[in-house]
Structure 1
Amino acid sequence: MPTPHSIDGLINKASLYLNEEQVARIKIASEFGALAHQGQTRKSGEEYIWHPIAVAEILAEIQLDQESLIAAILHDVIEDTPYSKQDIADRFGDSVAEIVDGVTKLGKLEFDNPQEAQAENFRKMILAMARDIRVILIKLGDRLHNMRTLGVMRPDKQRRIARETLDIFAPIAGRLGINAIRIELEDLGFKAMYPRRFAVLEAAVKKARGNRNEIVEQIRETIQNRLNQEEIPGKVFGREKHLYSLYKKMRNKRQHFSDILDIFAFRIIVNTADECYRTLGTMHSLYKFLPGRFKDYIGIPKSNGYQSLHTAVFGPYGVHLEVQIRTSAMQEVSEHGIAAHWQYKQDGSSSDKTPSHVDLRAQEWVKNLLEIQQSAGNSLDFLENVKIDLFPDVIYVFTPKGDIITLPKGATPVDFAYAVHTNIGHATVACRIDKQLVPLRTPLESGKTINIIKGKELQPNPAWLNFVTTAKARSQIRHYMKHQHSDEAIILGQKMLAKSLRNFNMAYEGLTQEIRHELIEVLKLEHWEQLLEDLGSGNRMAPLVAKQIHDAVLGADDEVNHKNIGSDTPLPISGTEGMVIHFANCCHPIPGDQIVGFISTEKGLVIHRSSCSNVKNIKNHPEKCLDVNWDKDAQGTYLAEIQLEAKNQRGTLATVANQIAKINTDIERVRSEDKDESYSLMHFVINVRDRVHLAQVMRSLKRLPIVEKIQRI
C-alpha cells in the first residue's frame, strides 16, 4: 500500500480545489488500487500502483473532479486485477465504474497490421468519448505518464508510441483545448521520435537563451509600464515556443533556426474582454502594427473554445513581437481546455447544468466524429478522415442567417454544406459567396457569407471527392456512393440471375424462400440481397449460381431443356445503371453499337464493343461473358473517341473545338500531334448520346475546309 508521503503530490494538488471529504475518498481509492495491483510491477521495476497515481496527479493539475481522479487511480483495475466493474461500483459508485470500464475497453485488440490496431483503438476511443468525455481525459493522462517513462522501452517501440502520440493523442489534446498536456506530449514525442534533432535544437535554444533574456525583459518592462500609464491592470509575460513548435515551423516554412529565434513572443493577461481590446490599442500605439497578422479569437473563438487576441508588431532592436492578449479565464481555458469549464467539478453533480461554450464545442466535435465513424467503411478509413479534422488551420464563414461555421483552411462550398447538414450537402447543386455565383470547388475565405443552392434530389457528385477537405464531407459522400452502388448492384444482380435461370428453364419469380435460405446458407452469406449484390458487383458468376439453384431444386442429373439455353433475350443496358456498369475506355461503346458484357471482379459489368480487339481475350472466359444489348430507351451521354487529320495551320485546334461546341457537344479530352509538316493528327474524346449523334458531329467536322479525314477510334 502507498505510504502517506508517496501520494503527497496528488493529495496536495487535489486539496487546492476539492473538499476534505472528496480528498478522503481519493486516499481510499489509492489504498484500494494499491491492494488490487499488489505484486504487479512496471518494466522499470517500480510498483505498478505509482503509474495510475501519477495519472491522477496529472489530472489534478488541470483540476478534474473527484470521480475523474478516482477513476484514474483505478483505470487498470478491471483489466489487470481480479476485481470487476461491479466491485468498483459497490465501493465508489456507478459513475466511476462506467468511466473505468470505458478506459478498459480502449485496451489493445490483436491485429496483424499495426495500422489497423491503431485505427480500431482510435475508433473505440471516440465511442467511449461520446458516452463520457472524461474517458479520453484519463487516456490523455495515461499517455502523458507513459511518455514521461518511455525510456525503459526498446528504441523501435519508443518510436512507434511516439508516432502514435504525435499523430493522435497530442492533436486530440489540442482539439479539446488542453494545451498544457498537448505541448508536453508533442515535446516528449519529438524527443523519442527524433532524439538527435531534439538534442541539437535543445542545445541551440539554451545557447541562444542567454542573449535573448535581457532583450525579452526590457521589452516586457516597456509594455508593462505602458499598461500602467493607461491604467490597465494587466501582467506581461515573455514566453518561449516549445521545441516541437520550433521544429515544425523550421520544417514547414524551410526557415533557419536564427530566423525563428528572431521572433519574440509575449502574453498579456488582463481582467475583462473590454480590457483585452484596450490593451490591443495600446500595443498598436506603442509599436507599429504588422498588417495581416491580427486575429480576433475573442469575437470568434476557435473550435476548441480557445479565446484570445493575437497581433504582431515591429518591436525595438528590429525584432518582431508576437503578442497574445487574454483574460485570466481565457488563459485557464487555453491551458486546460474543456477541463477548465468541467460540468462535473467539485461534487460530481454541479448545480449549474448549463454547459459552457467549451463543453458545447467539445460535444459538437465528438458528435461530428460519431457521424464520420458511422459512415466510414472501416477503421483505417475513419482514422484517415479524422486526421484531417485533427489538424485544422481554420477559417470562419457565415450562413445567410449570420451563424458562424468553422472549417479548415482550403474548405470549399461543398464542405460548408456538409458542415451545416448532411442532406444539404447531398442536395448541393450551386453556391453563392457574398451573392456571387462561384464554382463548387472554390476555396472559402474567412468572413464570407455562403449561400448553398439545393436541388430537388439528394445526389452527391463523386467528383467532389477530388476537392473536399473536411472529414465529414468526404465520409458522407463515400457513404452515399457505397449505398447507391449497393442498391444498383442488387438490381443488376437480380437481372443477371433471372437471365441465367431462364437458361435452365427456371424463373426468378419461382424461387421460394426455402430455396433462397438454403442457398445463402451454403454460400455462407447473411441474406439474399448480399448474393444479388455480389452478382451485380462481379464477385460471383450468375451462371454458376443459377446452376447451383438448378442442381439443388431438380438434382444434378436432371436434364435441362438445352434448346433454350443461350436463346433468351440479352440483358438490356439503359445507361442509367450508375456505378455498377462501366463502359470500356479501350473502345468507348455507345448506343447503337453491337456490344458484349464481361464480368469483372473489380468493376462489375464492363461493356465493350463487339469489334473491340480486347473482346478476343474476353471470349476465352465464356463463364464471365454476358449477352447484352442496348435498351431502345437508352439515356444519358457516352464517351466516344474520334481522330481528325487536319491542315497544320494557326488556329486549327480552336476552329475544330469551336465547331464541336456549336453542335452542343462537350469535349472531355483532346490531344494533338504532328503527322508531317502539312498535317496534324487530333484525337478528341467527346460526349454523345448515340451513333446517330456521333454521325452528326463527324459530318459537321468533315465540312470544315481544314479537315482532310475523320474516323472513329
Structure 2
Amino acid sequence: MTEKTEKQIKDEQMVQEEFNALLNEYLNSNHRRKVERITKAFNFANQAHAGARRRSGDPYIMHPLAVARIVCSEMGLGSTSICSALLHDVVEDTEYTVEDLRNMFGDKIAQIVDGLTKIAGGIFGDQASAQAENFRKLLLTMSDDIRVILIKIADRLHNMRTLGSMLTAKQFKIAGETLYLYAPMAHRLGLFSIKTELEDLSFKYEHPNEYEMINNKLRATEESRNKLFEHFAEPVHLKLQAMGMKYDMRARVKSAYSIWNKMQGKNVPFEDIYDIYAVRIIFDSQPGLDEKNQCWDIYAAITDIYRVRPDRIRDWVSHPKANGYQALHMTVMGPDGQWVELQIRSRRMDEIAEKGFAAHWKYKESNVEEDTELDKWLQTITEILESPNPNALDFLDTIKLNLFTTEIFVFTPKGDLKTLPQGATALDFAYALHTDIGNRCIGAKVNHNLVPLNHPLSSGDQVEIITSRSQKPQSEWLGYITTAKARSKIDAVLKKARKDEAQKGKTKILEAFKRIDLEATTSALDKLALYYGFPKREDFYYAVEQGDVMLPENIQKLLKEKTDNIFFKYVKQALGVGQKNEKNPQVKDEEKKEKPKFDKTKPYILRGDEYSKNYVIADCCKPIPGDDALGFINDDDTVVVHKRACPIAMRLKSSFGGRILNTEWSSHRNTSFDATLQVNGIDSVGVLTAITKTISEYNVNIQKVLIEAKAGFFEGKIKMQVHDVEDIQKMCVTLSKIKNIKSVGRIAE
C-alpha cells in the first residue's frame, strides 16, 4: 500500500473542513436533523468523484460541496436538496446510474438528480434545437419539482464564483448565459441576493474596468454615505423606539451592475446617480397584530418626520409580487435635501425577499396564498410548453418575457384581481382570462371607455373584454402583446392557419402535376420549390396558395433543368448575388480559401489596416477601438465584432458560446470609425459654433449635425468618424466645459 503524498493529505483535510462547514450550517438551520443521510450522500459522491479535479486544480468534490452549502445556507433548503446537490454530477460524470441512486437514496433524490442530469452542460447546447429542447426539459422538470432549478441556480452561482480559472472566451459565454437567463430566473424565484451576485459577477468578467471603477468610487464615497445615513436615521430611531418596536435599520447600497445599468440607460456619470443607497427597516412582528398594519404604522411614523413623495409609494404588502416579494416602499426628502428610498418589511418578508420561494415552505402553513403565486407562474410556463416555438432563440425570448417583469394589477368587471407584467395591453389581459376570449377579442372597455386591442393597461384599471364569434387572431396581433402566454397562443393559431393554407397550395400543385400526367415525387417537389427560391416545400405551398407564385402551364420544362443550376439559382437569390458566372458556378480549387484557424487560448488581435482588416463591425452596436468587445465567428468564418454589452451579443454568447472569441484592438490610428455624440443644454447664441469648433480641434471628420431647440433647451446629435474611444472621451470632457452645455455622451446609432 503506497503512502499518501503531502498534496493528497492537504486535499483530504480541505475536503473534510468543507464538509464540516456544511454540517455546521445545516445544524444551525430550522430543518430536522438528518445528518446520517447527508453524510452518506457526501461519502458516496466523494468516492464517485475520486481522482477527478476541477480546472482550478482542486478536488472535484469541492464543487458539489460548495453547491450544497449554497443550497443550505443561502437558499435555506433541507436535507433532500443538500443530498441532491452533493450528488448532482454523479450520474453525468461517473459510471453510476439514476437507478443506483434510487436504490441508495430513494425516489425523490433520484428524481431531482435525474432532472439536473437532463439539463447538464448548460441550458444551451451547440445546436439551436438542442438549446430549446434542453430549456424545455428544465422547465418541465421545474414544474415537477422546483428544487431542480434552485439547485441548478446554486450550481451556476458557484461556477460564476470560480470563473477566473476559465479561458476568457469561455468566461464571456458563461457570463452571457448567466445574464440572459439564470439571473432573471433567480429574480423570478425571489432569490434577490443570488440574482444580484450573478449580475455583478457577470459584469465583473464582461466589463472588468468599469466594474473596478464603480467599486472604487463606492469605496471612496462610503464615509460620506454613512454620515448621510446616520443623520437621516437618528430621528427615525427615536420615533420607532418610542413606539416600542423591535427592528433593524440599515442602508443597502446598489450593486455595481445596477449602478452601471442606470449610467448606461440615462447616459450619465457615476456622480449623477442619486439613489445609490436605500434604507431598509426590518421589524419583529408583534403577536396578535397584523403585519400589514405594522408596516403602515411605521410609514405613518416616518411621514411625521419627513416629507413623502406620493408618486413613489409602492404597496407590495397588500399585493405581493409574482415572486412572493412583500414590502412597503416609500421615498422621502431627507434632512440633507436628498430623496431617500425606504423599504419596510417584517422578518418573514425579509427572509422571503432574500431566499425567495425556498423560504416560503417555512411559512406555507400560515401563508398559503403566496405559494399560489409560484403555482400560477408555473402554470403559465406549462401552457407555453404546450405550443413551443421551434426557433430556439425566439422560444427563449418568449419565456424570458415572463422572467424579468414589473407587475401591474388590473380588475375584471366583477372585481377579480389579475396580475400582468408592466406594459401589458388589453389583448394580453384577454388571453390572461382564457385562450378563447383572447382569440375572439375585438376590443375592450377600460374604466368604461372603449379602447383598441393594443391599449396599454395601468395598475387599478378595470377591464371588460369585447368578443365576436367571427374574430380570429391576425399576424399583426404579435405587435400588440407583451406576455409570453399571449404570444404562444397567437403563434399556435397562426401556424395552424398557415399549415391549412399550405395544404391548399399543395393540392393545387399536385393537380398541376396530374394535368400533365407527371408523378409528384418528393424530389420533383423539392426541385420545384428550389427553383422559385424556397428551401422548404411548406413555404412554397403557402406562397402558391397566397398567389405569390404563379405556376406555369408546363412544369415539366422547369424540372428538366439541372439540379445544380436550380440550387445555384436559389443560393444566389438567398444571398443577393448577381448573375455573373451563372453558367459556371463551380468554384475552382485554386480559388478555394483555407478555413481560418482560431486559437481560443489567446486574444484574437483586431488588425487596423483597412486593406487587411480581419473583422467586420456589427451594425447593431458599432464598437470602436477601446470599447470592451468580443468576436463572433460567422458561418463563413468572418469575425463580427460586437460590444460585450450589446443585446445581440448577449444572445450569441448564450446560444453559440463555442463561436465567441476574446478580442484585442491593435493600433487603429490610420482607420476611422463611425460614432455619434448626443449633446444637451440651454439654447443660446453661439453654442453650435462652440461645439463644432471644439470637435474640429480633434482632427475628426464631422459627417452630420442635427440640432433641435425647444422651450429654451436644445438637443443635438453629431455623427462623426473617430479613431478610438480615447478621441470620444477627450471630446466629451472638453465639450462639457462649454457654458450652457448640460450633458454630453456617446450614443449607439
Give CA-to-partner distance per residue, 1:373-427, whole Å, 9 cap, x none. 3323222221011222222132211122222222222211111111222221111
2:99 corresponds in structure 1 to 86
Q: Determine which of 269, 282, 304 is the counterpart of 2:301.
A: 282
Aligned mates of 1:598, 1:308 — CA distance in 2: 73
Measure the CA separation in 1 of the matches of 2:506 and 2:177. Answer: 43
Distance 2:309 2:522 in 1: 70
Instruction: Report the TM-score, using the length of structure 1 for normalisation.
Output: 0.69
5 Å-filtered alignment, 1:181-196, equals: 181-196=194-209
Q: What TM-score do the two structures reach when normalised by structure 2?
A: 0.66
SS where residue 468 of structure 1 aligns?
coil
Q: How far does residue 113 in structure 1 lie from its aligned partner after superposition?
A: 5.0
Q: Does 1:373 align with 2:392?
A: no
Q: Any residues of structure 2 matched to 1:549-698 within 5 Å, and which?
A: 581-582=545-546
Q: Deviations over 1:84-106 (max 9, x none)?
A: 11111111111000000000000
CA RMSD of aligned residues (A): 3.1
Larger CA deviation: 244-253 vs 66-75: 244-253
The counterpart of 1:404, out of the listed 396, 412, 417, is 417
Give the aligned partner of residue 145 of structure 2.
132
Structure 1: 5+ residue stretches without partners:
507-515, 525-532, 540-577, 586-593, 601-616, 618-713
Name 1:43's counterpart in structure 2.
Answer: 55
One-letter amino acid of the counterpart of residue 517, structure 2? F
CA distance in 2, matches of 1:109, 1:598: 53
1:54 aligns with 2:66: yes
1:115 Cα deviation after fit: 6.3
1:439 shift after superposition? 1.2
What residue in structure 2 maps to residue 362 of structure 1?
374
> Does the aligned pair in 1 maintain the 2:328–2:343 contact within 8 Å?
yes
Specify whether residues 9 and 464 from structure 1 end up closer, same or farther in structure 2 by C-alpha distance, changes over 3 A only: same
Structure 1 residues 264-303: aligned runs within 5 Å: 264-270=277-283, 271=285, 272-303=291-322
In structure 2, what is the equivalent of residue 253 of structure 1? 266
**Counterparts in 2 of 1:310 and 1:364: CA distance versus 1, 3 Å:** same
Q: Deviations over 1:158-216 (max 9, x none)?
A: 11111111110011000010112111111111111111110000101000001211221
Aligned partner (choices 206, 222, 226) of residue 213 of structure 1: 226
Confirm or deny: 8 A CA contact 2:253 2:276 kept in the other structure: no
Q: Contact (CA 8 Å) 1:224, 1:235: kept in 2 or not?
A: no
Matched, 1:436 2:449: yes
Task: Choose which of 338, 341, 361 in structure 2 pairs with 1:322.
Answer: 341
Q: Quick one: which of 293, 307, 311 aligns to 2:326?
A: 307
- Separation (CA, whole Å) in 2 of partners of 1:225 and 1:185: 38
What does the per-residue CA deviation read over 1:648-695, in whole Å, with 9 as the maximum and x for residues that have no partner? xxxxxxxxxxxxxxxxxxxxxxxxxxxxxxxxxxxxxxxxxxxxxxxx
d(CA) in 1 for partners of 2:367, 2:545: 51
Deviation at 1:328, TM superposition (A): 1.0
Partner Cα separation in structure 2 for residue 98 and residue 199 of structure 1: 42
Question: What is the Cα deviation at residue 498 of structure 1?
Answer: 3.0
How many angstroms does 1:534 deviate by? 7.2
CA contact (8 A) 1:119 1:382 kept: yes
Q: C-alpha distance in 2, partners of 1:421/1:234?
A: 44
- Contact preservation (8 Å) 1:296, 1:309: yes
Structure 2 letter corresponding to 1:28: K
> 2:548 and 2:174 mapped to 1: Cα distance?
46
* Residue aligning to 2:569: none
What residue number does 1:225 align with? 238
1:332 aligns with 2:351: yes
Structure 1 distance, partners of 2:166, 2:128, is: 20
> After superposition, where does 1:60-79 map in structure 2 within 5 Å?
60-61=72-73, 62-79=75-92
Q: Which secondary structure state, in structure 2, belongs to the residue aligned with residue 406 of structure 1?
A: strand
Q: CA deviation at 1:74?
A: 0.2
**Greater Rg over alpha carbons, structure:** 1
In structure 1, the partner of 2:676 is none
User: What code does the residue aligned with 1:415 have?
Assistant: D
Q: Cα distance 1:463–1:133, how it changes in 2: closer, same or farther (>3 A)? A: same
Give the whole-Å Cα distance in 2 for the aligned partners of 1:252 and 1:9.
42
> Would you say 1:538 and 2:551 are equivalent positions?
no
Separation in structure 2 between the aligned mates of residue 56 and residue 393 of structure 1, nearest angstrom: 31
Query: Which structure 2 residues correspond to residues 385-396 of structure 1 after superposition, within 5 A?
Result: 385-396=398-409
Query: Is residue 109–residue 117 contact of structure 1 (8 Å, CA) maintained in 2?
Result: no
What amino acid maps onto 1:199 in structure 2?
Answer: E
Per-residue deviation, 1:71:
0.3
TM-superposed deviation, 1:119: 4.3
CA distance change for structure 1 residues 140 and 110 in 2, over 3 Å: closer, same or farther?
A: closer
Give the counterpart of 1:165 among 178, 181, 189: 178
1:584 positional shift: 5.9
CA contact (8 A) 2:325 2:352 kept: yes
Q: What displacement does 1:268 show? A: 1.0
Q: Which residue of 2 aligns with 1:655?
A: none
Q: Per the alignment, in what secondary structure is the counterpart of residue 390 of structure 1?
A: coil
In structure 2, C-alpha distance between the alignment counterparts of 1:336 and 1:206, rounded to whole Å: 27
Q: Within 2, Cα distance between the matches of 1:231 and 1:39?
A: 59
Contact 2:124 2:132 in 1 (8 A): no
The CA deviation at 1:112 is 8.3
AA in 2 matched with 1:306: Y
**Structure-2 change in CA distance of 1:522 and 1:57 (3 Å):** farther
Q: CA deviation at 1:360?
A: 2.0
Taking the aligned partners of 2:135 and 2:380, their CA distance within structure 1 comes to 15
Shift of 1:334: 0.2
Q: C-alpha distance in 2, partners of 1:110/1:231?
A: 50
Matches within 5 A, 1:189-204: 189-204=202-217
SS at match of 2:419: strand
Q: State how far apart, in whole Å, the 1-side matches of 2:143 and 2:297 are.
A: 40
Deviations 1:590-615 (A, max 9, x none): xxxx9989999xxxxxxxxxxxxxxx
Q: Alpha-carbon deviation of 1:502?
A: 3.5
Q: Helix, strand or coil for the counterpart of 1:27? A: helix
> Contact 1:372/1:382 (CA < 8 Å) preserved in 2?
no
Match of 2:22 in 1: 10
- Please state whether the residue corresponding to 1:504 is helix, strand or coil: coil
Cα separation, 1, equivalents of 2:186 and 2:67: 15
Aligned with 1:342: secondary structure? helix
CA distance in 1, matches of 2:153, 2:259: 23
Relative distance call for 1:109 and 1:190 in structure 2 (3 A) is closer
Alignment partner of 1:75: what SS? coil
How far did 1:454 drift?
Answer: 1.3
* Residues 201, 120 of structure 1: alpha-carbon distance in 2 compared, 3 angstrom cutoff: farther
User: Structure 1's 534 and 57: CA in aligned 2 closer, same or farther, altered over 3 A?
Assistant: closer
Residue of structure 2 in register with 1:34 after alignment: 46
The answer (yes or no) to whether the contact 2:410–2:418 under 8 Å persists in 1 is yes
